[in-house]
Amino acid sequence: MKWIYIFLSGVLLGVLMFFLGAGAPVPTVMSAMRASTAVAPPIAIPGPAQVDMAEPSSIQRVASTRFAPAVVIVKPVTNQLLIPVAGVSASQLSDTFNQARGIDRRHEALDIPAPKGTHVFAVADGKVAKLFDSKPGGLTIYQFDISEKFVYYYAHLDRYAEGIEEGILLKRGDLIGYVGATGNAATPHLHFTIFELGPEKQWWKGSAINPFTLLGGVQPP
């Protein structure tokens, strides 16, 4: 047994000499325990990705509006009727609706001066209700509007356009006649007005409506 102790002593001495020769500290049981129980520095774990919601992407903007309800903008109609005399602009119209005619009568129409033979057009769509030759109005046309609640009245015509007859459907801008001075007109012009009809829809009977603004005329300030 003695030689075993001698052998182990030699091994320990050799190990000790090895560490002393290398300049490294001799490990001890306590240092080994401290090394095994040392707390490792925390490992940074990335958190969830941060999304900037202040400004959606272009795709998000498209997606958010693709199925949005359509907004229909309806603009008011301020000039729904065509000026019936060729070559006349809205600025050339004069509001003669309230001018006196005789002692106790208003004109209740617009007079639109133009040379004899100037084209006269339908102001809107609608059916020809009556072609009539009267002493005051001369050659006239009574035209229903589409709803047949109103009548457009054209008077003092020199003649009717070819193909104009009662019952035909006119389209806005159709040629219907020519400016004249028939009836009691002193000079060539178109006498134009609108009548609001009663429930009987009698073309010769209605309440006159001033067409000045409906033709685009602007009242002076």
Q: What is the pLDDT of residue 217?
A: 84
Q: What is the pLDDT of residue 97?
A: 84
Which tokens is 94 given? Answer: 């004069």
- Class in CATH terms, 90-215: mainly beta
Residues 55-81: tens digit of each pLDDT:
333 333 333 334 444 444 433 334 479
* C-alpha to C-alpha distances, 91 to 77, 112, 133, 172, nearest whole angstrom: 18, 12, 31, 21
Q: What is the pLDDT of residue 51?
A: 37
Residues 78-98: tens digit of each pLDDT:
447 999 999 999 999 998 887
Report, as ranges of residue numbers, the positions in the chain whose pLDDT lies below 50. 22-79
| Cβ-count burial 138-169 (b if 16+ within 10 Å, e if not) | bbbbbbbbeeeebbbbbbbbbebbeebeeeee
Q: pTM higher than 0.75, yes or no?
A: no
